[in-house]
Amino acid sequence: MVGLRIIGGSLRRRKLQYSGDLRTRPMKDRVREAVFNLLGTQVTGSQAIDLFAGTGALGLEAISRGATHATFIERHLPTAKLIEQTPPPSVSPTACESSSADAFGWTTAYSAGVRTPR
């Protein structure tokens, strides 16, 4: 396993699981930090959707910074299973939802109302 971490919020410095699979290219810490600095307090109380989730770092970062729920969409089944094992024990099991699906198909179904938001 390669070391990744959550960079801010209540879960700061928690390590994330990452298999090192070349099909998964994790978002760099600095990029995630810049994204969440731009979003600021808008994350608090929101619901995050992490498309092409890979390590799940983006969704878990949102949870760490106050999002109430994160949905992780990852097509590669072994990677999706790893995401399911990743949330730290301090995160409510109902706060994270993982789906092994194609992100484009999932968003099409979601926007068509086939899948209802939480």
Residue 81 in contact with residue 53, Cβ under 8 Å?
Answer: no
Residue 103 in contact with residue 51, Cβ under 8 Å?
Answer: yes
pTM summary value: 0.86
Output the pLDDT for position 27.
85
Dist. CA 16–CA 28, nearest whole Å: 13
Contacts of 115 (CB under 8 A, 6+ apart): 106, 109
Output the pLDDT for position 64.
94
Please give the structure tokens belonging to residue 79: 């990677």
Q: Residues in the chain with pLDDT < 50?
A: 1
Output the pLDDT for position 17.
78
